[in-house]
Amino acid sequence: MLDRLMAPDSFFSKNFFFLAKRFVAGESIDSAIEAVRGLNAAGMTATLDFLGEDVLERDAAIKTRDAYLRMLDKIAQAGARSNVSVKLTAMGLLIDEDFALENLSTIIAYAAEKNPADPFVRIDMEGSAVTDATLRVFERAFAVHKNVGPVLQAYLKRTPADVARANELRARVRICKGAYNEPPEIAIKDMPAIRAQYMQCAQALLSGGTYPGIATHDPGPIELVKSFARANGIGPERFEFQMLYGVRPALQHRLVCEGYNLRVYVPFGTHWAGYFYRRVAERRENLLFALSSVFSR
Ligand SMILES: Cc1cc2nc3c(=O)[nH]c(=O)nc-3n(C[C@H](O)[C@H](O)[C@H](O)COP(=O)(O)OP(=O)(O)OC[C@H]3O[C@@H](n4cnc5c(N)ncnc54)[C@H](O)[C@@H]3O)c2cc1C
């Protein structure tokens, strides 16, 4: 039922994009590039995400891969300061791991060629059913190309060990809390404990990692990261804060004014409903924000 509602050809997706507009930078690559230009002008970098996940047909995965190649062309043509974020299930991970690796590797090699100023390719982390497979594909890609890195989710009990492994590899990690509804056997469910594990992971990445992405809108951890970095002589050029398009823009600007690197995750495309649903599920106020931006247009 929910899958049907979220399909790009559903009545909801075809008629209700105006609701998602605050969090999704349009349905086309051109609208997303426009959004990136605005962020760049405000001193921020971006990572572009072509929305879509859980692809079950090879043709669809290849189309998504090719859309990423076109995105990299557009980034280069526009001279935009942006890299890209990729979901492996959109690259065919649920069909065949080798096939997903092949598609990912094509994007990584193309990014190095077309976007030398920021050739990095981020692998978003999805639900726990694919955590192991995602990290396996990441490590296989990383063995060949260094311009790729994973996301780790602080709510998973396994994550401190994954952080240690990433530091050993010297891989570039984005640390976030995690956006999926995971069972208590594998995930911490209590917010103060998630924050504590988030800080433990962020500190390990700041001390022993490679240019970590500190992805959160939560003012507490942001302040703790700043003071940990200051206290340990870790300059602001050694990490970046990351936030989602449309979320806490005033805080984004403040961090830039304070001299921190700030990257904004800019999702776009017609498969926006699942992403929008996760934003609303993690914070009911996001629906109010979406509605208020409609009425204040
Ligand atoms: C750049 C980026 C990339 C991400 N990539 C992934 C990924 O690959 N995989 C994944 O599972 N998850 C990903 N996430 C989502 C992440 O896991 C969280 O679900 C999401 O960021 C919410 O957690 P939070 O720490 O930002 O804030 P929360 O824990 O939701 O909220 C804590 C506090 O932050 C502030 N806040 C949060 N949201 C808002 C808002 N909309 N408006 C105003 N204040 C707000 C409030 O003060 C709130 O009390 C990503 C997040 C970011 C920022």
- Token match 């991970």: residue? 93
For the stretch 32-49, pLDDT in tens is: 999 999 999 999 999 999
Mean pLDDT value of segment 61-71: 96
Q: Could you identify the atom of ligand 1 that is nearest to the CA of residue 282?
A: 30
Pocket lining: 89 vs ligand 1, CB cutoff 6 Å? no
- In 3-state terms the chain splits into helix, strand, coil percentages (rounded to 5) of 55, 15, 35
Q: Which of 81, 122, 174, 279 is catalytic?
A: 174
pLDDT over threshold 50, residue 165: yes
Strands 262-268 and 240-244: parallel
* 222 CA distance to ligand 1 middle (Å): 12
- With a 6 A CB cut-off, is 127 part of the ligand 1 pocket? no
Pocket test for ligand 1, best of 121, 126, 194, 216 (most atoms within 8 A of CB): 216
- For ligand 1, the distance from its centroid to the CA atom of residue 216, given in whole angstroms, is 5
Q: How far apart are CA 213 and CA 76, in angstroms?
A: 23
Cα of 136 vs centre of ligand 1, distance in Å, is 25
C-alpha span between 104 and 26 (Å, rounded) = 24
- The CB of 248 under 6 Å from ligand 1? The reply is yes
Percent of the chain with pLDDT over 90: 79
Question: pLDDT tens digits for 179-236?
Answer: 999 999 999 999 999 999 999 999 999 999 999 999 999 999 999 999 999 999 999 9
- Asked about 98 being catalytic, the answer comes back as no
What is the Å distance from ligand 1's center to 59 Cα? 32
Amino acid at 44: M
Q: Is there an atom of ligand 1 within 6 Å of 244 CB?
A: yes
Distance CA(86)–CA(278), nearest Å, equals 17
As a whole number, mean pLDDT of residues 276-281 equals 79
Tokens of 266: 């800019």
Q: How confident is the model at residue 172 (pLDDT cuts 50, 70, 90)?
A: very high
> What's 209's DSSP letter?
S
Q: Band the pLDDT of 7: cuts 50, 70, 90.
A: low
Of 47-56, 97-106, 150-159, 193-202, the poorest mean pLDDT is in 47-56
Catalytic residue among 124, 162, 263, 279: 124
Ligand 1 near 179 CB (within 6 A):
yes
Identify the residue with better confidence: 216 or 5.
216
238, with CB counted inside 10 A (0-12, 13-18, 19+), is middle
**DSSP 8-state secondary structure symbol assigned to residue 22:** T
Is any atom of ligand 1 closer than 6 Å to the C-beta of 35?
no
Look at residue 9 and tell me whether its pLDDT is greater than 70: no
Closest by CA position to 200, among listed 219, 181, 177: 177
Question: Residue 12: is its pLDDT beyond 80?
Answer: no
Q: Do 152 and 115 contact (CB within 8 A), yes or no?
A: no
